[in-house]
Every structure is written in C-alpha cells, then in structure tokens.
Structure 1
C-alpha cells in the first residue's frame, strides 16, 4: 500500500473498523514506511504474562503496529513489575519514563474519580454498550480530555465482557454477611463494597491467590472463569458468585505519553489507533469463547456457583447511584461525564430492553 494511499480515516469508530479490516486482509504492511523513521517504544502493563488474554491486549497492539509498519515502529510490552509496579503504569507514562502502558483506568480513580468511566461503572454498560458510548456517544472524547491533564492520550484496548462476582471462602447470603469481610476489589466497586461494610483491599493480579489462600483476605474478584482458573482462585475458595455488578464490562486502556504521541508521524498514529481497535474487539471475543469452557471445568471440579441475593444487589445499586450523585457534587469533571454517560445509559437500556433483552429472555430460557 503506497504511503499516499494510506487511509487517513483510521480514527476510532466506524472508519477504524474499515481500515482494520483492510490491514488484516493485506499480506503486507499498511504503509510504505521506507521514508518514515524507525521508532522503538516500551509498553508497561499491569498484567502478568500468565494471564495470556488480558496481557494479550498489549501483545496484539505491539504485533499489529510492527506488522503494519514493516517493522519500523516497534513496541515491546513488559509484564507488571518488570519496568514499574502493576498499579503505577499511568504514573510511568505521565512522567515519560515509558512511552506507553496497558492498564485499567479505574485503578487511578484516586487521581480523578471520573477515570472510572473509562473502565467500568457499577450497574452501568455492558461491553457492547460501553463501546457504543466510547466510540459514538462522546465517551472517548470525554476521557481523553481528562487524560490530557496527565500529559496522556488514551485509547480503548481490550474488554473482558461482564465479569463474575468473585470468590468467597464462605457464603454471603445477606448484607450482614458482608460486614467486616476482607475482599480484593478495586475501583468504584470497591467503594460500594466498603459502604456495605466490606474491608476493601486493592491488589494486583499476581498477588491475589496468595492473599486468598493464606487468609489475608476472605474474598477476591478478578475477571472471570478463564483468568480466575489460571490464577488458581478456585483452589483457595469454593463459592463463586455472579454477576460482577461492579463490572458489567471492563475496558482496558492503552495510555500514551502525549509528548511522544505528538512526535509520531500521522501514519504511525493511525496504525496505532487501528491496532487498539483490534485489541479491543479481539480480547472480548477471546474471553467469551474461553470463559464458557473454563466455567464448566470449574463446576465439574467442585466450585459452587452462586448468585448474589436480591437484597445485596438492590442495596449495592442504591449505594452506587448515591455515590455517583455525591461525586458529581464534589467533582465538576465527574458531573459532566456522568450526565453524558447516564443519559446514554438510560437511552441504550430502553433500546436494548426491546431488542436484546426480549431475545435473551426467550432464547436463554429455552422453549
């Protein structure tokens, strides 16, 4: 593909999908890069390599960028702890000690509570709805405006789909059963659990099993059956709860140091954006494929699959929206994003209650 023919509409959204399809079908690079510079970047991540699906988002971006530039633009991903600790990826990218990073925005809500919208909001949007809001509903623009304050530009680069509700050593049937429980759960979900009496812990994935197995915590959530099985969480707790109401989907982001981004040739920027779209859609497809088999294996092995009680779900939702209203009063940025997000949520819920929910209720319930 000649440089002059490189499709400049590879921005996030429908155009990106078109470019991505063309690049995927091509056996050669997406750009004639011989006149472009050689660039080598490092990508810090929040994930251990053993979690091949979530760490795979970083690898997908790196591989596709290299392939589409004939190896002139290379990105090397690093596991959590190799360059920086798992929960300090944003700080490293902001400072410029690494050019880019792959992480979850809700790890950094202490910097700005509105960053939670980029990953997942309790009782919020599923993966399809989240992508619609980010790509077409103004969500990504809102997030990039916030990240500009950190000298960073972000792009969606993976999604886990709706997550599970975590592993517990004992049953939790009522709200009182949560009181004093020590649980690993990050983000706004953690704040809600804290309001329900849980002693919340925030740990990187690599530390969750040992903490649960040794009794430092009583419960833990990570992602879903495939990753949880890899971490061995089923060996440390028997009760597997659902749904993960705090993460009806979870978008992973790639952070890029804004100064480094601005130095990239436009062609490389467009390739990078297209690669993030591929990572975003591919990860979700992988999780939906792998989780079904992993869950069956867990149940066969003795895992007790249990739904959260209506009492817990109802109170958690109540607390969630009280927290949103409080954050909106205290943080003007959160208020602005929340109003846009909530209006989109209400509208897409109305639509999906007609098309998606009616189909699911009939089809999943059997004839």
Structure 2
C-alpha cells in the first residue's frame, strides 16, 4: 500500500510540475519610450525574441509611453497588476524615494552601458534594487542602457575647467546641480527649445540626448563642438515584472525571461552605439564640426564633483543611503573614484 501511495504521489507531483512548467503568460509591458523610437523598436524585437525562446508561452505585448498610465505611474501599475511589467528609466520614480534617483541615473557615474550593467551584475546592484522594489510588488529582472548622452556645444569644452561660466541647458535635479558644482551656469529649458536657444546664443551648450538623436534634431548645425562619447548622463533602462507573476513562474521560465533581458540589453546597446558611431563618422567628415572626447582623467574629476550630489540624495532616505554606499564602493573597486 505504501509503495502504491508513493507512486501515486510521485505521479501527481510530476503532473503538477509539468503543468506548472507549461503555464502560459500574456503580459502587457509599458515602455517609457515613444512609438517609432529606436529603443521602442528594440523592445518590440525583444518581445518577439522572448516569445520564440519560450515557444510562444510567454507573450509580451509592448506598449509605448502613456498607453495605459503616465510614464511616472508604471511602477504602481505593475505592482497592482494593471500592467504585467515595464521597461523604463527608474529615476522617474524619484518622488517615491530618492533611492530611485541614485540607482536610476547617478550623474557622472557611468560612461557606457557596460559600466552600468557591471554594477548590477557583479556590484550587488540587482540584489539591492530588488530589496527596494519588493514593497511595491515589483521584481527587477535586469538592467539595460543606451549610450551616454552627448553634449552639443557651440564652444570647445575639453575639461571640467572649460565648463566654468558656460551657460548650458540642464534639467532640474541632480543633473543641474552637478553641472553647477562643476562651474557651469545651468538653465532649465524643455528639449523642444534647445535648438532655438543654441541658435540664438541664449545657451552655449546643452545636456541633451544621444549623439544620433541630437543630429536628427539639427543641433550640430548650430552647436559645432559636440562632446562625445558622453560622460554625464546614462540612465538605467530597467526591465521589471509584477512580483506575483515572477514568483509563480517555474525556474526554467525565469531563466528564459532573464536570458531574454540579457539579449535585450546587448541589442539595445549595440544598435544605439552603431547609430551614434555612424553619426560620429559623418561629423568627422565635416570641416565645420569638431567632436571633443574627454579623457578618463577628466571624467573622473567630474565624477568626484557629482559624488557630492549623490551624497546629498543619500541623506534623504535609508534606501538612498544603501544605494550610495553600494555604488561608491563598487566604483572605487573599479578605479572610477
């Protein structure tokens, strides 16, 4: 009787496990990127890739910014199950906890997507971020990033010293305060007014977006001394999912999902970098444009200045302090501070 009972239990367990492993998921993910952007194209390619990897069982529908909720409301929507997940700039949630500012876009910390991902992959960033996200009912799957933002400039800027007195566009918050601490004179302008402000000499430089996007906006026709590669702003592009959904997945499905996010991060960095390089090669052929690339020494100087701003945010919450401690320890171990 015991033998038959054991066989019955084993058979039931196997059937349950098999059924669990074959469970299907139809998930709506909202992006912070608009439809038609290069990033959103890669996100749709990721959804296709994940569908293929899972034999169609994990079906993600990518939605552009604002489709269901506002760009800064996706965290609550994912936690509540209104959305299945999100691909977004984590710093949009700074109003909930300053920790999101530090983990989402610590100004000056990274110069490449690879540097950012290193913090999350081997610097303890992923574990810490999940500790922060757990109360919101959200699970962080993995980190991605586009290239660092370039700086279109009308004047040559090759060092921290050259920033002194330069009137430049920079958004409010950590970016603006970091440039002010470096000696620049930042002003707050919407992205839509950057071209006109540069053209009319209202500003001499701008914290804008990637080199390729700046070029598509015509900024290099009026600001002919761009700084590239960028060094100041490289936001985390997080992929996260409703925690209940994640907890209900089999180990095999979790691995498939995680592997697909690694593919997305690689593909995003590759495609955006290729577009930037294409524009950089084009600009190199123009006699009226000079691309300025900062040395590692100057990047480190700016990072040291920005660290004071990180410390200011760290003092605002317990979670922010944890991010500051973890991030600065990692950057020091990498020789970045």
TM above 0.5, yes or no, is: yes
Single out whichever of 41-50 and 271-280 deviates more from structure 2: 41-50
Cα 1:147/1:65, change in 2 over 3 Å:
same
After superposition, what is the alpha-carbon deviation per residue over 1:110-145, rounded to whole angstroms, capped at 9, x for unaligned?
A: 322222444442332443333232112211100111
* Root mean square deviation of aligned Cα: 3.5
Whether contact under 8 Å (2:108, 2:231) holds in the other structure is yes
- Give, in whole Å, the separation in 2 of the partners of 1:116 and 1:60: 28
Q: Which residue of 2 aligns with 1:324?
A: 310
Q: How far apart are residue 100 of structure 1 and its match?
A: 0.9
Secondary structure at the counterpart of residue 110 of structure 1: coil
Taking structure 1 as the reference length, the TM-score comes to 0.70
Taking structure 2 as the reference length, the TM-score comes to 0.76
**Aligned positions, number:** 308
Which sections of structure 2, spanning at least 5 residues, go unmatched? 1-17
Q: Does residue 110 of structure 2 align to residue 128 of structure 1?
A: no
Cα 1:182/1:344, change in 2 over 3 Å:
closer
2:164 to 166, 175, 193: 175
Secondary structure at the counterpart of residue 37 of structure 1: coil
Q: How far apart are residue 50 of structure 1 and its match?
A: 2.9
Whether contact under 8 Å (1:212, 1:236) holds in the other structure is no
Q: Does residue 185 of structure 2 align to residue 200 of structure 1?
A: no
Secondary structure at the counterpart of residue 174 of structure 2: helix
Single out whichever of 326-335 and 84-93 deviates more from structure 2: 84-93
Which sections of structure 1, spanning at least 5 residues, go unmatched? 1-31, 354-367
1:246 to 213, 224, 232: 232
- Give, in whole Å, the separation in 2 of the partners of 1:236 and 1:83: 38
Highest CA radius of gyration, 1 or 2?
2
Q: Which residue of 2 aligns with 1:212?
A: 194
- Give, in whole Å, the separation in 1 of the partners of 2:322 and 2:213: 34
Q: Which residue of 1 aligns with 2:331?
A: 345
Q: Which residue of 2 aligns with 1:275?
A: 260
- Give, in whole Å, the separation in 2 of the partners of 1:67 and 1:279: 14
1:155 to 125, 128, 141: 141
Cα 1:314/1:40, change in 2 over 3 Å:
closer
Whether contact under 8 Å (1:168, 1:238) holds in the other structure is yes
- Give, in whole Å, the separation in 2 of the partners of 1:259 and 1:306: 48
